Amino acid sequence: MSIETSYRRWLESPLVSASDKALLKAMPQEEIDEAFFKDIEFGTAGMRGILGPGTNRMNLFTVRKATVGFALYLLEKYPDAATRGVAISHDNRHMSREFTLDIAHTLNLYGIKAYIFEALRPTPELSFAVRKLHCVGGIIITASHNPKEYNGYKVYDENGCQLVPEKIDRLVQLIGSLPNELEVVIRPRPLEGKTITLDVSIDNEYIALVESTQLNPTMKKDEFKIVFSPQHGTSYPIAMRIFEDTGYHVFPVTSQCDPDPDFKGTLSPNPEDPRAYKEAIALAQKEHAHLIVMNDPDADRVGVAYLSSKGTYEIFTGNQSGALLVDYILSERKRKGLLSRNGAFYDTIVTSSLGRTIAKSFGLKTQSFLTGFKFIGDQIAKNEAMPNGPHFEFGYEESYGCLAASFARDKDGLQALLLYCEMGLFHFLKNEPLDVAYDHLQERFGFHQDTLYSIEFKGPQGAATMSALMTSLREHPLTQINGYKVIRMEDYLKSIAYENGKTYPIDLPSSDVIKVFLSDGSSIAVRPSGTEPKCKFYYGAVGKTKAEVQGKPALFHGELGKLYGFGK
Query: Which domains, and CATH codes, for the chain?
Result: 3-198 (3.40.120.10), 216-311+423-431 (3.40.120.10), 446-564 (3.30.310.50)
How far apart are alpha carbons 107 and 85 in whole angstroms? 9
How far apart are alpha carbons 213 and 321 in whole angstroms? 18
pLDDT at 44: 79
Residue 144 bears catalytic tag: yes
As a whole number of Å, the end-to-end CA separation of the chain is 35
Amino acid at 82: A
Q: Which helix (H) or strand (E) holds 535?
A: strand 534-543
CB of 395 closer than 8 Å to CB of 388: no
* Sheet of 365-369, strand order: 365-369, 343-348, 391-397, 401-403
Residue of 6, 96, 127, 144 marked catalytic: 144
How far apart are alpha carbons 19 and 476 in whole angstroms? 50
Provide CB contacts within 8 A for 383, sequence distance 6+: 344, 389, 390, 391, 392
pLDDT at 531: 62
pLDDT at 458: 75
How far apart are alpha carbons 147 and 531 in whole angstroms? 13
* Secondary-structure breakdown of the chain: helix, strand, coil percentages, each rounded to the nearest 5: 40, 20, 40
What are the pLDDT tens digits along the chain (568 aa)? 799 999 999 999 999 999 999 999 999 999 999 999 999 999 878 999 999 999 999 999 999 999 999 999 999 999 999 999 999 999 999 999 999 999 999 999 999 999 999 999 999 999 999 999 999 999 999 999 899 999 999 999 999 999 999 999 999 999 999 999 999 999 889 899 999 999 999 999 999 999 999 999 999 999 999 999 999 999 999 999 999 999 999 999 999 999 999 999 999 999 999 999 999 999 999 999 999 999 999 999 999 999 999 999 999 999 999 999 999 999 999 999 999 999 999 999 999 999 999 999 999 999 999 999 999 999 999 999 999 999 999 999 999 999 999 999 999 999 999 999 999 999 999 999 999 999 999 999 999 999 999 998 876 677 888 889 999 999 999 999 999 999 999 999 999 999 999 999 999 999 999 999 999 999 999 999 866 678 999 999 999 999 999 999 999 999 999 999 886 5
In angstroms, the Cα distances linking 298 to 234, 276, 333, 524 are: 6, 15, 29, 29
